[in-house]
Structure 1
Amino acid sequence: MVAAPETDGAVLLLDVRTPAEFESAHIDGSVNVPLDRLEEYLPQLADAMTGRSVLICQSGGRARTAQTKLTAAGLHGSVVMTGGLNAWISSGAPVNRGRRSWSLERQVRLVAGLLVLVSVTLSLWWAPALLATAFVGAGLTYAGASDNCMMGMLLARLPYNRGGAGDPTAALARACRR
């Protein structure tokens, strides 16, 4: 069971998933600042993170990366929601739902699987195609060891994952006024 973060304004709920994932489902009152744009919003985050902050992603990995980046920038006191939004939803906690989209993790699994399938198939006629399989394997190994998925970061930049959540500036300004 995931403990519900306080939403009385004293806690900033910072969702670091892609805008499309955020549009699909998010906790009421959370602010979306995608992980790949975190540095861009550090000044606004410094103003908004005056109290406690809970970092949210789909399963916890991106939130831990965000916490590391925020701490390195001098913004301390954040906690990562254990299990991310997946655990939150599994516990029956409420979410705001919108347009459905695939999670970044699901997209990574699809692309990695397709790359392996296509490269193995092509290797039947052209042996060097197996290098793509080795490249995907090395990338997945690195992602598992470092908890940092480069393919996920690349996929997050696609227009499909940008969604229409808009610029986080206004949401962070509202969070500062709480």
Structure 2
Amino acid sequence: MQTVSVQEAKNNARALLLDVRTPAEYKEVHTADALLRPLAELHPATLAELAANRPIYILCRTGNRARQAAERLQKSGVTDVAVIEGGIEAWQAAGLPVVRGRKTMSLERQVRIAAGALVLTGMILGFLLHPCFFVIPTFVGTGLILPVLPSGVAWECSLPECPGTRALPRS
């Protein structure tokens, strides 16, 4: 798989710069010329039309999702594809210009806060009102443990891919 440095990507004005991070990550920080196409919503045929004989340089946060996107594009016949080494983190570290938006809380952090609040509430209510409230932290704990067990199939999908958690398409 072909890779390019952040400096090479910045200097090639002809290339289509493709950002495959989530919309929340993109809003937080992105390059001025990047086209947002989250990995989960990547359609190689559409990108081939957009690129129109230009190289496609793909970036994400550090490079992992960009590699997945590049593989998907190459399997569909798009050949002039390269991954930007180090992603947006390397871009920022090199001092290249970025557009900064509002920092958003990650989905994982939101889930942790909600789970912690439920456990704390269940414990307080269990001690102060009635022991039946201890069922709340029990369910939360079970819900957190089951997905990481090898045979646990309770939550097969990752949160960003679950129905209702994807960003709506732009009109």
Confirm or deny a common fold (TM above 0.5): yes
Aligned counterpart, 1:46: 48
How many residues are aligned here?
A: 146
Is the contact made by 1:115 and 1:132 (CA closer than 8 Å) also made in structure 2? no
Percent of residue pairs bearing the same amino acid type: 26
In structure 1, how many angstroms separate the alpha carbons of the residues matched to 2:160 and 2:6? 27
Task: With the length of structure 1 as denominator, give the TM-score of the two structures.
Answer: 0.62
In structure 2, runs of 5+ residues without a counterpart are 127-133, 151-156
Say whether 1:13 aligns with 2:17.
yes
| Larger CA Rg, structure 1 vs 2 | 2
Aligned counterpart, 1:70: 73
* Other structure's SS at 1:100 match: coil
Question: 1:61 aligned to 46, 61, 64, which one?
Answer: 64
Say whether 1:132 aligns with 2:134.
no
Q: 1:36–1:96: structure 2 CA closer, same or farther, 3 Å change rule?
A: same
- More relative contact order in 1 or in 2 (CA 8 Å, sep 6+)? 1
Aligned counterpart, 1:110: 109
Q: CA deviation at 1:43?
A: 2.6
Q: CA deviation at 1:114?
A: 3.2
Q: 1:52–1:21: structure 2 CA closer, same or farther, 3 Å change rule?
A: same
Say whether 1:90 aligns with 2:93.
yes
Q: CA deviation at 1:151?
A: 2.3
Q: 1:49–1:63: structure 2 CA closer, same or farther, 3 Å change rule?
A: farther
In structure 1, how many angstroms separate the alpha carbons of the residues matched to 2:83 and 2:148? 28
In structure 2, how many angstroms separate the alpha carbons of the residues matched to 1:112 and 1:136? 14
Q: Deviations over 1:130-174 (max 9, x none)?
A: 2211145459xxxxxxxxx82244486256xx7xxx46xxxxxxx
Task: With the length of structure 2 as denominator, give the TM-score of the two structures.
Answer: 0.65
* Other structure's SS at 1:80 match: strand
The structure carrying a bigger helix percent of its residues is 1
Q: Deviations over 1:61-99 (max 9, x none)?
A: 3222222221222223322222211221122111123x3
In structure 1, how many angstroms separate the alpha carbons of the residues matched to 2:112 and 2:99? 31
